[in-house]
Amino acid sequence: MRTFIRTLIVSLSFSFLVACGGSPIGKALDHEKAMLKIVEANKDDGDKAKAELEKYVTDHKAELDQVKADMEKLKNEIKDDESKAMSMMIDHASAIQENETLKDSLRTSKAYDNDDVRKLLRMVDM
């Protein structure tokens, strides 16, 4: 019973953070989606996709650095708590799936063939 209550509290707390935009995972997914949309808009031109991604990274450098630091901290916090990790993934399942579907659709594009584009996208890859 205690495990159920603890899992429920974690889930509800995380749902609240997600709704408030406070989740490191949610922020990482938002940046990943924005970057994937840039690649999608420039899927026939790898150089343009790279340039647009570089601009995005420059414009959002502080946020991206903070997300990276928050994700590392979060990984350390949950590494021994499987139920908390699973709860977090469940809370973000639809956004993760949406980004993965978009990634899959771009894998055959000229832009995705560009090594620099893939490197930039890995900045927020979960």
How far apart CA 73 and CA 87 sit, in angstroms, is 17
Alpha helices in the chain (DSSP H): 2-19, 24-41, 46-59, 61-78, 82-91, 93-106, 110-113, 115-121
Stretch 38-61: mean pLDDT, rounded?
Answer: 96
Low-confidence winner among 43-47, 87-91, 93-97, 116-120 (lowest mean pLDDT): 87-91
Does pLDDT of 55 surpass 80?
Answer: yes
Does pLDDT of 66 surpass 90?
Answer: yes
